[in-house]
Amino acid sequence: MPTLLGIHGTVTSPGRLHQALEMALAAASASDPSVTAGLLHLGGHQISFADGRPPEAYGDDTQKVLEQVMAADMYLIATPIFRASFTGALKNLLDHVPVEGLMGKACGLIGMGATDHHYLTVDTQLRPVLAWFGAHLVPGGVYLQSQHFQDGKLADPKAIAALESLGRAVVSLHKAASSNSESAGPSPLAAG
């Protein structure tokens, strides 16, 4: 059974972005009942700063989190936008993951910022990092902001439809890449 891992890339308490990620995960699972979905909230774990040591050398949750990330077959990654980039907590997690951990795996991206000014951050900051891994990225992502929510609940029909579409697209991309290894193209230079 293929596994889909939602990564809530922040250490802040689960809130609106967490809810949006859950919605995308539910749509992905509904599109293919064989998919097992899980959610990793970085704020729920102690992950050491990546300093080059092997995962088992850290005395916290680092090894357990990395095992969970590397065991997944596909991902939905959600991050708030801080200072025109994705979170440091998410970057630290990605710094721990070896290239083969994400290589060839389908991935969908969700960003959330205060204004429209940061909507390209996911494409200009996070997408290149995941391309370094050789992850297969759904071409379009979802960008959310406060106006999409009412009373703490996602209320914008277009945003809801976009999240559901993204969830389904990750599953479709995973199936396409899994059924035809040639569709993946060459390994990334980072794997060399």
Q: Say what the pLDDT of residue 187 is.
A: 83
Q: Say what the pLDDT of residue 109 is.
A: 98
User: Which residue has tokens 């290239």?
Assistant: 99
* All structural domains of the chain: 3-191 (3.40.50.360)
Q: Say what the pLDDT of residue 116 is.
A: 84
Q: What residues in the chain have per-residue pLDDT under 50?
A: none
Beta bridge mates, 77: 7, 109
CB-count exposure of residue 185 (10 Å: 0-12, 13-18, 19+): exposed
Within its chain, how far is the Cα of 122 from the centroid?
A: 11
User: Which residue has tokens 């850290």?
Assistant: 58
With CA atoms as reference, report the closest residue to 110 among 156, 70, 146, 77: 77
Beta bridge mates, 106: 74, 136
